[in-house]
């Protein structure tokens, strides 16, 4: 039965062509002198699972609430399916929201909660009952229709909120921190379920989250926000492998960041000297934007660094010039996490870095031990050179 609703929503969604379903045009939101959102322009395509990611106070929730009509932008325009939303109140917008607290009505049964949106729209009883049942089946709550919200678990309440929003067949479903109130195991299961649900109903989902693993795991595209603006917009792998700024590199995943000076920039090679990696320079096999002698940052992910047993000479790397992309240090601490181990290595000039290694074999965990002197190396393609 859930198939019926799913295909119904899907049909409505595919009618719209590839033009953006949501457009933010120079949106700003200010309260007095406080800037919540600062001149954001953003297009979201039909059928996308889009995530707004950022630390708390970055404006992501405000952006979502403006889309739902619960906040009014100070400047700019919001278009939903080509229609300007300036004068449209929240109850007449073709978007529905799953709130962070779920906001399930405590005095109504599960079925009444889901039926509420149809009731205020004046959908006749017979239609209503059928659609409510479909929506509940879609989120696998069909058997709990008569329950009251206080008899449900947190995860079930969230499904009620989902069904309540989806039953209205919105063009876009908004999710405000949908998984933050669930425990770790359930969160992981729900992540998968959300993306399954999104594929089933085929409409655009926009999720707000501060949890980068969540955004990377579910979303097709992610906008990383910082201080009211979009710091970077891209696919999860874009953001992780090609961060545009120190903020993005640092916010998504973990990273070892070294400040340095661009001493040589050729089209096919760039050399950066970092005081913390002295005396060995960093070499990348491509040119980087930025002037010679300017300050840059080198960001290297922990899993893209290697550990070598101590030797007199630095290890030779096949694709790098000798005595480049290496550093000498001492293992201070090892965190064994099961699938991987994280090595905290203190470099010769006092900088502590993180290196992660997968535990591929059941027997090689003892290869390195705390207190051991090691060499650290990385391939030329591993570092990202950042201007800001």
Partner 1 sequence: MAQRRAPLEYNRTWQMRLWLFGVFFFLYAPLVALIAFSFNDSKRNIVWRGFTLEYYRKLFNDQVLMVAFANSLTIAFLATIISLAIGALAAILLWRYRFVGKTAVEGAFTLPLVVPEICMGVSMLLFFTRVIPWPNNIMWPFSLGSIVIAHVSFCFPFVALVVGARLASFNKEQEEAARDLGANDWQAFRDVLLPHIRPALIAGGLLAFTLSLDDFVITFFTSGPDTITFPVKVYSMLRFSVNPEVNAASTMLILLTVLLMVVMMVTQSRAQKK
- Provide the minimum distance between the beta carbon of 161 and partner 1 in the complex, in angstroms, as a whole number: 8
* Binds partner 1 (CB under 8 A): choice among 18, 87, 89, 358: 89
Cis peptide before 279 (omega within 30 of 0): yes
Minimum CB distance to partner 1, residue 43 (Å): 23
Among positions 101-140, residues that touch partner 1 (CB under 8 A) are 101, 103, 105-107, 116-117, 120-121
Percentage helix, strand, coil for the chain under 3-state DSSP, each rounded to 5: 30, 30, 40
Alpha-carbon gap, residue 344 to 374, rounded angstroms: 11
- Contacts of residue 295, defined as CB under 8 A and 6 or more positions apart, other chains included, come to 259, 260, 261, 262
> Cβ distance 90 to 70 under 8 Å?
yes
- Per-position x/- string for 135-164, each x denoting binding to partner 1 as judged by CB under 8 A, each - no binding: --------------------------x--x
Residues 6 or more apart whose Cβ sits within 8 Å of residue 193: none
Between residues 101 and 199, which has the closer beta carbon with respect to partner 1?
101
Residue position matching structure tokens 């669930």: 182
Minimum Å gap between C-beta 125 and partner 1 is 17
Q: Tell me which of 35, 45, 70, 346 binds partner 1, using CB under 8 A.
A: 70
Q: What is the DSSP letter of 370?
A: T
User: Which H or E run contains 216?
Assistant: helix 212-218
Place of tokens 């729209």: 121
d(CA 316, CA 323): 7
The number of residues that bind partner 1 (CB under 8 A) is 25
For the CB of residue 76, give the shortest distance to partner 1 in the complex, in Å: 21
* Nearest approach, Cβ of residue 364 and partner 1 (Å): 51
Interface with partner 1 includes 88 (CB under 8 A)? Answer: no
Shortest distance (Å) from residue 101 CB to partner 1: 5
Name the token pair of 70: 């619960």
Per-residue binder mask for partner 1 (CB under 8 A), 311-350, x = binder:
----------------------------------------
Binding stretches for partner 1 (CB under 8 A): 68-70, 89-92, 95-97, 99-101, 103, 105-107, 116-117, 120-121, 161, 164-165, 168
């Amino acid at each position: 039965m859930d198939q019926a609703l799913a295909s119904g929503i899907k049909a409505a969604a595919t009618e719209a062509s590839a033009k953006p379903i949501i457009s933010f045009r120079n949106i700003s939101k200010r309260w007095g002198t406080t800037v919540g959102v600062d001149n954001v322009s953003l297009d979201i395509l039909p059928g996308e699972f889009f995530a707004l990611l950022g630390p708390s106070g970055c404006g992501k929730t405000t952006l979502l609430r403006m889309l739902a009509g619960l906040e009014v932008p100070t400047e700019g325009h919001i278009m939903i399916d080509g229609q300007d939303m300036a004068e449209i109140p929240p109850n007449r917008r073709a978007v529905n929201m799953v709130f962070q607290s779920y906001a399930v009505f405590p005095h109504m049964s599960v079925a009444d909660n889901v039926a509420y949106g149809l009731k205020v729209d004046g959908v006749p009883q017979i239609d209503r009952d059928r659609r409510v049942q479909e929506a509940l089946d879609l989120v696998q709550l069909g058997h709990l229709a008569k329950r009251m919200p206080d008899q449900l678990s947190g995860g079930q309440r969230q499904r009620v909120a989902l069904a309540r929003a989806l039953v209205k067949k919105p063009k876009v479903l908004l999710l405000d921190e949908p998984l933050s109130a669930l425990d770790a195991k359930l969160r992981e299961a729900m992540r998968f379920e959300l993306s399954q649900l999104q594929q089933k109903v085929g409409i655009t989902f926009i999720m707000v989250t501060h949890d980068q693993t969540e955004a990377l795991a579910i979303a097709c595209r992610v906008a990383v926000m910082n201080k009211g603006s979009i710091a970077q917009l891209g696919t999860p792998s874009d953001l992780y492998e090609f961060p545009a700024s120190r903020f993005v590199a640092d916010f998504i995943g973990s990273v070892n960041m070294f400040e340095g000076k661009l001493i040589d920039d050729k089209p096919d090679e760039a050399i950066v000297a970092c005081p913390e990696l002295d005396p060995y320079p960093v070499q990348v096999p491509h040119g980087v934007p930025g002037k010679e002698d300017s300050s840059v940052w080198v960001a290297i992910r922990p899993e893209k660094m290697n550990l070598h047993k101590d030797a007199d000479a630095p290890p030779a790397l096949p694709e790098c010039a000798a005595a480049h992309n290496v550093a000498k240090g001492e293992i201070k601490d090892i965190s064994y996490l099961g699938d991987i181990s994280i090595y905290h290595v203190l470099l010769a000039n006092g900088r502590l870095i993180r290196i992660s290694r997968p535990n591929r074999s059941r027997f090689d965990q003892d290869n390195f031990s705390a207190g051991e002197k090691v060499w650290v190396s990385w391939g030329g393609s591993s570092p990202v050179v950042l201007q800001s």
